[in-house]
Structure 1
Amino acid sequence: MTFPTPMLHLVCGKIAAGKSTLTAAQAAAPGTILLSEDHWLARLYPEELASVADYIRLSARLRQVVGPHAVALLRAGLSVVLDFPANTPGLRLWMRGLFEEAGAAHTLHYLDVPDEVCRQRLRARNAAAGHDFAATDAEFDAITRYFVPPDEAEGFVIVRHP
């Protein structure tokens, strides 16, 4: 079986915008691997992840391992869906390095969802207890302060999802 040219799918959107739902659907394609930050963090650091500061520290540690792994998968001919938030220029720069190092194509999926819709989804997700992390409204606000929508000038192939 032959697969299409390896593609790195990136995702940008606020908490509960639908990033994990979109990436799960993308990962269903043949020859595609899903790497989910929330999944890995919840299993590697269940006792250490208690604050936004913990998230920042631990996600940086995780990126040091996942980055080379994603590059290796892309070089092996597989597509990778990176369910890590591409929510700041710095994180997007790290992700750019991955597809450039691998010589792979990329798409940055931007979920442009209003805050109030995200909050409603977050509350429903928390009530259902089906997600690795349950953020509070205060955590939503704290994390959303750092959100920077992607800009065409950054040079990504952007697909906008309303």
Structure 2
Amino acid sequence: MPTLHLLCGKIASGKSTLAASLSETPGTMVISEDTWLAALYADQMTSVADYVRCAGKLRLALTPHLVALLKAGVSVVLDFPANTVANRQWMMTVIRESGVPHQLHFLDVTDDICKARLRARNASGEHDFAATDEQFDLITRYFVAPEEQEGFNIIRYQDQPS
């Protein structure tokens, strides 16, 4: 049975690392927001408002594709941040339209650990986007932890090493 894996966690909490690990299961693929946004909109994203606009376009375009993959029997690790109620509502739409089981992986990592990982990630130059501590703080203001009443099957991880 195909499964939709969703990821919730602040910047540099380990979402993409977990996504890579989850994708090692046969018949599973990762679809990464950062990869798609970098390829399609990197030159257009200079603010949080730009990110919201571009990410919205990407979600709209990918929704039918995600549903088709899941209905075809492919498990998907959706490496998009399930960090706001609105993003999770979109993800719930994909779950309902595809009719597959899901798991919401919640990486509950402290800001200090995330910032340390972010600095290391920025220094490596291997990530599609680099964020400053100030950008981390700005974006983190929008973070809302998932709650049981939203209807997700939540698996919680605390301070996981990246």
**TM-score between both structures, scaled by the size of structure 1:** 0.96
Structure 1 residue aligned with 2:88, among 75, 92, 95? 92
Structure 2 residue aligned with 1:49, among 45, 55, 59? 45
The amino acid that maps onto 1:111 is: L
Structure 2 unaligned spans of 5+: none
Paired residues in the alignment total 158
- Are positions 1:141 and 2:137 aligned together? yes
- Measured after TM superposition, the shift of residue 46 of structure 1 is 2.1
- Are positions 1:155 and 2:141 aligned together? no
Q: 1:74 — aligned with what?
A: 70
> CA RMSD of the aligned region, Å?
0.7
Q: 1:122 — aligned with what?
A: 118
Structure 1 window deviating more from structure 2 (46-55 vs 70-79): it is: 46-55
Cα distance in 1 between the residues matched to 2:113 and 2:29 = 29
**Structure 1 residue runs of 4 or more that deviate by more than 4 Å after TM superposition:** none
Cα distance in 2 between the residues matched to 1:31 and 1:80 = 9
- Measured after TM superposition, the shift of residue 50 of structure 1 is 1.7
Structure 1 unaligned spans of 5+: none
Q: 1:10 — aligned with what?
A: 6
The amino acid that maps onto 1:156 is: F
Cα distance per residue 1:54-84 (max 9 Å; x no partner): 1111000000011111100000011010000
Q: Percent identity?
A: 59
Cα distance in 1 between the residues matched to 2:114 and 2:81 = 15
